[in-house]
Amino acid sequence: MKRFVILWRHQLWQMMISPSTYIAAFLFLAFMAVLYILALVDLSVSASDVSPLSRFLSLFWVPVLFMVPLLTMRSIAEERRMGTLATLMTTPVTAWQVVLAKFLACYFFYVLLWCMTLFFPLIAKMYMQNGIDQAGLLQIPQLLSGYGFIFISGAMYVAIGIFASSMTRTTLVAGMLSFCMLFFAIVGAGMISKLTLPDDGFAMLLSTSTDYLHTFRHLEDFSNCLLDTRPFFLYISTTFVLLAITSLVTEAKNS
Return the number of other C-beta atoms located less than 10 Å from residue 119's C-beta.
12
- pLDDT on residue 120: 82
pTM score: 0.87
CB-based contacts of 253: which residues, under 8 Å, 6+ apart? 80, 166
What's the Cα-to-Cα distance from 225 to each of 55, 118, 142, rounded to whole Å? Answer: 15, 18, 6
Q: What is the pLDDT along the chain (255 residues), one digit of tens a residue?
A: 777 888 888 888 888 888 888 888 888 888 888 888 887 777 766 666 667 777 778 888 888 898 999 999 888 888 888 877 777 777 778 888 889 999 999 999 999 999 998 888 777 777 765 554 445 566 777 788 888 889 999 999 999 999 999 988 888 899 999 999 999 888 876 666 555 555 655 555 555 666 667 777 777 777 777 777 888 888 999 999 999 999 998 888 766
What's the Cα-to-Cα distance from 62 to each of 66, 110, 140, 185, rounded to whole Å? Answer: 7, 14, 24, 13
CB-based contacts of 124: which residues, under 8 Å, 6+ apart? 36, 40, 52, 132, 137, 138
- pLDDT on residue 211: 65
